[in-house]
A and B are shown apart, each in its own frame.
Chain A
Amino acid sequence: MRVYRADLQVHSCLSPCGSLESSPRRIIAAAKARQLAMIALTDHNTTANCPAFAAAAARCGGITPLFGAEVTTTEEIHVVCLFAELATAVTFGDFIHQHLAPVKNNPELFGDQPIVDVDEQVLGFEERLLVGTTDLALDALDDDVHARGGLVIASHIDRPINSVFSQLGMWPAQVTLDACDLSPRAQDSTWRGRVPLSVPFVRTSDAHFLEDIGRQSTAFALAAPSFDELALALRGVAGRRIVPPADCRAAAPEPSCKNPI
């Protein structure tokens, strides 16, 4: 097993709150520069920039892209949904689009929502407001994503808006989330007692700007940097596991800087 670092939640320019500079190509370049082995594209309620993300990762090489979206449930909980394959994510994106409230984006209020290609050419603009809410209940979304072979991660559970705890008051029984994401300021110890032990904590950047990519990430002990290995590590089986930050420093010393300033 080796230690691989992954950032499982990043927004591109397609998210209305995302920087227009955050093209899939630049996200991949930034992730590579920060020595991330895996990076997930998770725009709000869409997977429309995932094809460019896949192409950018293939062109760059040496980094594993994961495809998904940060979906808003009918309870207004933000949930990161991840898939191994681009095609699965695109199909899932169509499904989400059918369930997203048909509210038109006002670019002056929320920003543009450009769909781009790998060369940063604008292919079109998503007209539906992507920060809207779907009519999918948390339980239904959880079941759907798992049926498609995906992973479900509750976003920023420590935050007072759009989190499992803000919306539902307590951990929901009968939901089989694969992990929870904690914001930078949150301590694991503060939240561990409120979430079942079977649900691990991960750290993601939730980056909306290029400079924030990898600001928080999670280290995994894996045989290879792949979606299937990640899924094993979240369950803590077959020797795959999440590597706590303290162990990680010991296991993987900081790589020496190739370009000292």
Chain B
Amino acid sequence: MNVTEIVSALGLTVTSEMQDGAVTGAYAADLLSDVVGNAQPGNVLITVQVHRNVVAVAGLVGLAAVIITHGRVPDNDVLAAACDNNVTVLTTAESTFTVAGRLYALGIRSA
């Protein structure tokens, strides 16, 4: 499965430039130290964290995309940084729990 399929299946809002990579799995966390330690390259990150470092961590880990939940929207300078660093930032009004459940139902696992 790739990022565009997830965007259309979950009705996510694309807030940065879209990088349509293959998705290897998903990881859910708000502590970015935990994301650095445990998320895998190609994962989609599900989080409420909107600090600029989410972009840096996405680049460091090689995340396929970041899904910001609960209606939160990063500041414009964070979204600009995402574009500069080819990080796909998606947003949704749904909760982290719901997004994780819907991704699971699509066959995505943690890996």
Contacts and interface: CB of A to CB of B under 8 A. Distances in A.
A161 to B, nearest CB: 9
How large, as a class, is the contact surface on chain B? 10 to 19
B52 A166 contact: no
Interface string A110-139: 000000000000000000000000000111
B39 to A, nearest CB: 10
B103 interface: no
Interface string B45-78: 0000111110011001000000000000000000
B31 A172 contact: no
A1 interface: no
B33 interface: yes
A192 B36 CA distance: 20
A205 B61 CA distance: 35
Nearest to B37: A169
A7 B57 CA distance: 34
Interface in B13-60: 31-33, 35-36, 49-53, 56-57, 60
Contacts of B49: 75
A167 B31 CA distance: 5
Contacts of A167: 31-33, 51
B52 A169 contact: no
Q: Interface on chain A toward B: helix, strand, loop, or mixed SS?
A: loop
A172 B52 contact: yes
Contacts, number: 40
A170 B51 contact: no
Interface in A123-181: 137-139, 160, 165-170, 172-174
A166 B56 contact: no
Contacts of A139: 51-52
A137 B52 CA distance: 10
A174 B31 contact: no
Contact of B35 (A160, A169, A174): A169
Nearest to B77: A174
B52 A170 contact: no
Contacts of A166: 31, 33
A220 B65 CA distance: 46
A166 B53 CA distance: 12
A170 B53 contact: yes
B40 to A, nearest CB: 15
A89 B50 CA distance: 28
A170 B56 contact: yes
Contacts of B56: 169-170, 173
Contacts of A160: 33
Kindly name the residue among B35, B56, B60 whose own CB sees the greatest number of chain A CB atoms within 10 A.
B56
Contacts of A138: 51
B33 A165 contact: yes
A13 to B, nearest CB: 31
A169 B60 CA distance: 10
24 contacts: A75-B49, A75-B51, A137-B50, A138-B51, A139-B52, A165-B33, A166-B31, A166-B33, A167-B31, A167-B32, A168-B32, A168-B51, A169-B31, A169-B33, A169-B53, A169-B56, A169-B57, A170-B32, A170-B36, A170-B53, A170-B56, A170-B60, A172-B53, A174-B52
Given A166-B33, A170-B57, 10 more contacts: A167-B31, A167-B51, A168-B32, A169-B31, A169-B33, A169-B36, A169-B56, A170-B60, A173-B52, A173-B56
Interface of B: 31-33, 35-36, 49-53, 56-57, 60
